[in-house]
Amino acid sequence: MRQKKKNKIYRQPLPNRFVHWGVAISIIMLIITGIGQMPVYGRYLIVQPFGTKWLTSYEITLLVHYFFAATLLFFTTYHIVYHVMKKEFDIWPKKGDVKGSYLIIKAMILGQKEPPSEKYLPEQRIAYLYFVISIGLVIVTGVIKVIKNIMGVQPSNGILFWGAQLHNLATVMVILGVVMHLAAFIVKENRKLLPGMFTGYVDEEYVKERHSL
Amino acid sequence: MHCLDAPCQKLCPFGVIEKTKHGAVKIDENFCMGGAKCRAVCSWDIPQRQAGVGLYMQLVPELAGGGVMYKCDMCADLLKEGKSPACEAACPKGAIEFGPYEQIRKKAYERAKEIGGFIYGDVENSGTLTLYVSDVPFDKIDEAIEAKKKEENDTRFGRPHMKSEVENMLETTHGYMLATLIAPIAGAAAAGITAYKVLSGQKKKEGGEHCEAKEEK
């Protein structure tokens, strides 16, 4: 149950944090094990770091990959159904977000005062769309890959080739997205958002200053 | 070997192993990255690295002459020309026969019955298109292969066993695949319950506030 805290604003309810961290852990593990299914760890690592031997086994990385694919599907479906039922679409991009992002980034670089924002900054909404596209593509191609692995299912050579190529492309897109997501915290102004994803609360002062709309 | 449900084909991370119209499992040497994942998932370690072929020969031949993965493709080029595969044509004993799967399978069983023999490859790894017929039990053949390898201290790839218990990796991971496909249903159900609880809690709260406001009036 949410408790009122002095000088704090409740920004990220428990379901948001549950989905955020569930998706984050799933994606990190999917990237690690997915790379394990590529010619990488067992091929180029001359010295195997302690505790990573399992990553060179195709069978183990495949099973762990399936496990986290299931958790990613669980959390993404949860996210969609929960917010559609609650009719919450604050993070969905709006008209003028590209220009809005430009103005905010320009203000950050030049040290000027940022234009006021809603709950989410325009660039956060654009970043969300980027993740929808890249995670969406990785999920669709991933599900095709799971179905084709079922015994008795014989997909065409084209499905196998394009399914793999697009899954790999989407993986690269997701990795770039994660890097950009983390790089956002290099900017000092964004760091005040961080406690929101741990405790749910952010400073009231920060909200008044930046999210006044 | 050319498996009916070939793990190497289905699990190649680049999707560059195809099945030809004859059912041969064929690695596209121009796209293969040589990661050997096909060998890792093959029950017999059939795909092997072939020096002097593939992508790297075009890019860095000096450094990457080790080549990419390679396996029997039923002599796809010869079949295209309407010729027999090289092994069938070259076998001095005429012991290799190539033909439509059902026809060959029927013939293999008839031959096995005739000689009181055994068949290998029909059920192993959930079935293959390569069938061996022998009057010596395959367990004994496998023992002989192992003994010879031990004697020669041969630990290299490329000398497959003939064990009778051969599991297909796609079969052993079947449960995980189903779990993956069921996960969205569980996610939707959990979200539905949570959203319903939150929404009904909000309604109750709003109702309570409404009553309090009325009483104040």
Predicted confidence band at B155 (pLDDT cuts at 50, 70, 90)? confident
pLDDT recorded at residue A111: 75
Name which residue leads in pLDDT, A46 or A143: A143
How far apart (Å, rounded) are the C-alpha atoms in residues A100 and A116? Answer: 10
Ranking A38-42, A120-124, A139-143 by mean pLDDT, the lowest is A38-42
Note whether B88 and B62 are same-domain residues. Answer: yes
Residue B1 lies in a domain: no
Torsion of CA B76, B80, B82, B84, to 10 degrees: -10
Name which residue leads in pLDDT, B91 or A114: B91
- CB-CB neighbors (< 8 A) of B14 in chain A: 161, 164-165, 168
Note whether B133 and B95 are same-domain residues. Answer: yes
Boundary (domain end) residue, out of B172, B189, B207: B172
Q: Answer yes or no: do B191 and A85 touch at CB < 8 A.
A: yes
Count of the separate structural domains present in chain B: 2
Q: Answer yes or no: do A74 and B183 touch at CB < 8 A.
A: yes
Note whether B168 and B206 are same-domain residues. Answer: no
**Check: complex ipTM more than 0.85:** no
Nearest to A84 by CA among B186, B197, B181, B188: B188
Note whether B52 and B30 are same-domain residues. Answer: yes
- CB-CB neighbors (< 8 A) of A85 in chain B: 191-192, 195-196, 199
Domain span holding position B130: 7-172
Q: Inform me whether the pLDDT recorded for A42 exceeds 90.
A: no
Q: How is residue B83 written in tokens?
A: 């010729």
What domains are defined for chain A? 9-72 (no CATH), 89-213 (1.20.950.20)
Note whether B46 and B122 are same-domain residues. Answer: yes
User: Can you tell me the mean pLDDT for B102-112?
Assistant: 95
How far apart (Å, rounded) are the C-alpha atoms in residues A119 and A180? Answer: 20
Note whether B135 and B215 are same-domain residues. Answer: no
Q: Answer yes or no: do A80 and B196 touch at CB < 8 A.
A: no
Note whether B108 and B147 are same-domain residues. Answer: yes
**Span B117-141, pLDDT tens digits:** 999 999 999 899 999 999 999 999 9
